[in-house]
Structure 1
Amino acid sequence: MRASELLGKKVIDKDANEVGKIADIEIDTSTGTIDYLIVSKAGLSFKPKTFPVKIEDVNTIGDYVILGVKPKELEVEEKEEAKKVTLEKTE
């Protein structure tokens, strides 16, 4: 499968809820394997929100990307990713 075929695919969680669409992929350049799918979901604002999904959490890729995790588990990943952000003071 080509990366271009992944982009825009709907992502479905373990409870059969649509959680978003594939917006990007993160590749480990040393191995050439996909580490994360970057999922875009529309929030209440018009700005799309993205969050990473570990490739290990993907059960199937076909017409849809079907995850083996529940929505609450995805929220935890999103919060953990947010903790990694660091701000630097500039003068």
Structure 2
Amino acid sequence: MKIKEFIGSTVLDKNANVVGKVDNIDFNTETGKIETITLTLQKNIFSRDELEISFDDIATIGAYVILNKEIEQEPEVEEEAETVEIEIEDEEE
């Protein structure tokens, strides 16, 4: 697999839950080995977080990157719609 194919790969935790996508790779310049990968975690449309994972935490790389550990994700919080009351007065002519 080429690096450009690895960037953007979907990452699953050991329970097959989607964690995010590979965003960046950090190499050891002396050994040429991958040390860490940075994942982009999409929380919602406008909010993203990053998570750095050690290369040792990767179980397999193929169609998906599968981790050998569980990643806890924050539950999605639904925003309550603000209720607006409007009074309509019936005008009699």
Tell me what 1:58 maps to. 58
What amino acid sits opposite 2:23 in the alignment? Answer: A
Q: Distance in 1 between matches of 2:44 and 2:4?
A: 28
Deviation at 1:43, TM superposition (A): 2.0
For 1:7-86, list aligned pairs within 5 A: 7-44=7-44, 46-72=46-72
Residue 80 of structure 2 is matched in structure 1 by none
- Structure 1: any 5+ residue segments left out of the alignment? 76-91
In structure 2, what is the Cα distance between the partners aligned to 1:20 and 1:44? 12
The CA RMSD measured in Å over matched residues stands at 1.9
Matched residue SS, 1:71: coil
Q: 1:37: Cα distance to partner?
A: 1.1
AA at the equivalent of 2:48: P
Q: TM-score if structure 2 supplies the norm length? A: 0.72
Q: How far 1:61 moved relative to its partner?
A: 0.4
Distance, in Å, in 2 between the alignment partners of 1:65 and 1:44 is 21
Q: What TM-score do the two structures reach when normalised by structure 1?
A: 0.73
Structure 1 segments (4+ residues) deviating >2 Å:
none
Give aligned pairs, total.
74
Distance 1:46 1:25 in 2: 24
Percent identity reads: 34
Larger radius of gyration: 2
